[in-house]
Amino acid sequence: MNLQERVLRVQEEITATALRVGRDPATIKLVVVTKKQSIQDIKTLFDLGIRDFGESRIQEAEEKQCSLPPEISWHMIGHLQSNKVSKAVGAYSLIHSVDSLELARKISQKSQERGLITDILLEVNTSGEEAKHGLTVDAIRDQFSHFIALPALRIRGLMTMAAMMATGTFEEQERVRASFRLLATLKRELQGSLQDFTELSMGMSQDFPLAIEEGATLLRVGSRIFGL
């Protein structure tokens, strides 16, 4: 199966899953994760109509952005270090991985200096795994008023990574589903009157159908598309 066939299969699965649970497929955006992928493959996907691409490393993304069409929307999906904020602000349509109030403040400050409004998601650790980045559920509840008060930021929603599934057993799937459901519940709780707080970035190659079932609006899919 070639690259075109794989991306079409993923798109078909997104559409079928959405329709099965009564959702409009147009409300779900596929962000193709292109870490370590060639500029030529990204251009091929662009020519197939893909416009949203996710990168984890600032330097790698910079090299690709210089060589690819300006119509692409780049998403920062990896852990963003504080010392990389200056390079990130203005380079991405959405930063998915804001995992602390300190980081948000630095993005806010740099955005103000440049006269920009930066769209961000708050990353939440819904699995309880110590190795994962993200705010705890309690922390985001306690600090949310401070996040939304920061100037030059538009908080668009929440992001999470569920636990990896080893074999896809029912128990593993239910653990993943619980992470996604927790994020969706938290979004509804926090949303209030925030009109722009609409996004749920959750679901990757092995679990995006479960994420769609639980309300995902942004899917971060790489290995299923690149045959990894």
Q: Residues 20-72: pLDDT tens digits?
A: 999 999 999 999 999 999 999 999 999 999 999 999 999 999 999 999 999 99
Please name the helix (run of DSSP H) or strand (run of DSSP E) that holds residue 191, with its range, or none.
Answer: helix 170-191
**Res 192 pLDDT > 90:** no
Please name the helix (run of DSSP H) or strand (run of DSSP E) that holds residue 30, with its range, or none.
Answer: strand 29-33
Which of the pair, 103 or 192, is modelled with greater confidence?
Answer: 103
Block residue for tokens 């119509």: 71
Position 228 scores a pLDDT of 65
* Nearest C-alpha neighbor of 134 from the set 175, 168, 183, 172: 183
How far is the CA of 215 from the CAs of 82, 158, 177, 182, in angstroms?
Answer: 30, 12, 11, 11
Query: Cα–Cα–Cα angle for 193, 187, 204, nearest 5°?
Result: 140
User: What is the rounded distance in angstroms from the CA atom of residue 20 to the CA atom of residue 133?
Assistant: 32
CA torsion 104-109-115-121 (nearest 10°) is 0
User: What is the rounded distance in angstroms from the CA atom of residue 204 to the CA atom of residue 33?
Assistant: 9
Stretch among 8-12, 50-54, 146-150, 162-166 having the lowest mean pLDDT: 162-166
- CATH for 3-226? 3.20.20.10
User: What is the rounded distance in angstroms from the CA atom of residue 156 to the CA atom of residue 93?
Assistant: 11
Q: 76 forms bridges with which residues in the sheet?
A: 55, 95
Position 158 scores a pLDDT of 98
Model confidence at 148, pLDDT cuts 50, 70, 90, reads very high
How far is the CA of 125 from the CAs of 163, 178, 182, in angstroms?
Answer: 10, 12, 10
Question: Could you tell me the two tokens for 32?
Answer: 């193709």
Using the CB atoms, write b or e for 166-177: b if 16+ within 10 Å.
eeeeeebeeebb
